């Protein structure tokens, strides 16, 4: 299958996502420029980490207006798989494709750390290769990763089994320790931890591969 990695001018984890997919996973991938209004023939889209357009206003606030996000919206509406990592997650909530918001970390500082997250549902195209309750070692690196939403939304996320990942130790103050969520149709995942940084044994963990492998599995029957 072929992954599309969206490149905003301030993306800086685009190469890392590409490397994880191509070298650690053995799948094809190509970059998609932010001004492109088409995604080409990709089977799934990754919105990588970084600082999209500088993010001086609010992370992802400008990115939602980009031509490529219009294409991503259409792709998602047709059931395409969209994975937003870190800044990608921020862009997805800013775009309204996922509920809630990501605000500054509780400690007000950027945090780069290897953390443990619990996989909360295996019922999704992003987590089917894992087991519910499994603890994964995946790093975080963000300044605005504190997930917030109103109580009703949070209850809904839980009731609909849409919390994909939770921090074992809540590093940034996220409500209910949420690290990653799914949309209602379960074809969009936004997560703050970086699975592409945990895809190579030399980087200390390969737990992040679960996400990419699940996507390959989910799309395989369609081929």
Look at residues 191, 166, 176, 181 and name the one whose alpha carbon lies nearest to residue 116. 166
Q: Is 196 a catalytic residue?
A: yes
d(CA 152, CA 69): 27
d(CA 161, CA 158): 5
Which residues contact residue 140 at a Cβ distance below 8 angstroms, ignoring those fewer than 6 apart?
Answer: 86, 111, 112, 113, 115, 171, 172, 179, 192, 193, 194
Nearer to another protein, 11 or 183 (CB): 11
Nearer to another protein, 19 or 134 (CB): 19
* Residue 84 lies near another protein (rule: CB under 8 A): no
Q: Residues 24 to 83: which contact another protein by CB under 8 A?
A: 49-51, 53-56
Q: Is 86 a catalytic residue?
A: yes
d(CA 24, CA 200): 6
Of 43, 120, 196, 207, the one binding another protein (CB under 8 A) is 196
Nearer to another protein, 142 or 186 (CB): 142
Q: Is 151 a catalytic residue?
A: no
Which spans of this chain sit near another protein (rule: CB under 8 A)?
9-10, 12-13, 15-16, 19-20, 49-51, 53-56, 109-113, 139, 141, 143, 194, 196-197, 199-203
Residues taking part in catalysis: 86, 194, 196
């Amino acid at each position: 299958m072929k992954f599309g990695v969206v490149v905003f001018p301030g993306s800086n984890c685009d190469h890392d996502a590409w490397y994880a997919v191509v070298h650690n996973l053995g799948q094809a991938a190509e970059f998609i420029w932010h001004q492109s209004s088409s995604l080409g023939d990709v089977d799934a889209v990754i919105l990588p980490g970084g600082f999209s357009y500088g993010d001086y206003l609010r992370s992802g606030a400008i990115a939602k207006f980009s031509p490529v996000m219009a294409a991503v919206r259409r792709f998602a509406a047709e059931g395409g798989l969209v994975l937003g990592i870190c800044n990608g997650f921020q862009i997805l909530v800013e775009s309204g494709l996922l509920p809630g918001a990501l605000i500054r970390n509780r400690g007000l500082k950027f945090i780069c750390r290897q953390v443990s997250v619990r996989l909360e549902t295996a019922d999704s195209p992003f987590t089917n290769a894992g087991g519910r309750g499994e603890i994964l070692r995946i790093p975080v690196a963000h300044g605005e990763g504190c997930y917030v939403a109103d109580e009703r939304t949070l209850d809904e996320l839980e009731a609909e089994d849409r919390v994909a990942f939770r921090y074992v130790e809540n590093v940034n103050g996220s409500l209910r320790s949420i690290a990653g969520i799914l949309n209602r149709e379960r074809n969009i995942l936004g997560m703050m931890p970086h699975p592409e940084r945990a895809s190579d044994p030399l980087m200390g963990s390969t737990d992040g591969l679960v996400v990419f492998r699940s996507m390959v599995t989910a799309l395989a029957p369609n081929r």
